A = this chain, B = another copy of it.
Amino acid sequence: MTYKHKIQYYETDKQGVTHHSNYIRIMEETRIFFMEEIGCGYERMEEVGIVSPVMNVNCDYKRPTTFPDIVEVELSVLELSKLKTRFGYKMTVGDKVVCTASSLHCFLDLNGRPVALEDRFPEFYKILVEMQQNAK
């Protein structure tokens, strides 16, 4: 599953390259795209009553990108436990890796209490398990 983000003019800075903060936003776009593709998009999350705040981001900048590059992002599942998951991101422009990153998420109900994803949202958990196995 590959997400494509086109670098916009307003995402560049006076160095002539994409400002490094924007990769964090591309990561979020990628998660949202992925969730929608697997049928677990925003509306489904709301029905289930789960939010998954970001607990950590880690981002290695390998090569600069700039407008009007198309960044392709491959999402993977690096870690998965009852209460948390870590997604991995590999971003490329053409055949060059430009950025690798990860983000850690917990799962909370609408009162802010941790929930076990496997119980609360099994269809999503199952897909994450498969993705984690593929990543190995």
Contacts and interface: CB of A to CB of B under 8 A. Distances in A.
B51 A14 contact: no
Contacts of A15: 51, 53
B8 A32 contact: yes
Contacts of A41: 68
Q: How large is the interface on A (under 10, 10 to 19, 20 to 34, 35 or more residues)?
A: 35 or more
A84 interface: no
Nearest to A33: B6
A132 interface: no
Interface stretch (A19-27, A73-81, A90-98, A117-125): A19-27
Given A55-B60, A58-B58, A58-B59, 14 more contacts: A8-B28, A8-B29, A10-B19, A12-B14, A14-B67, A20-B57, A21-B22, A21-B24, A32-B68, A53-B61, A56-B58, A56-B59, A57-B57, A57-B58
Interface of A: 8-10, 12-17, 19-22, 24-25, 28-29, 32, 36, 41-42, 51, 53-61, 64, 66-68
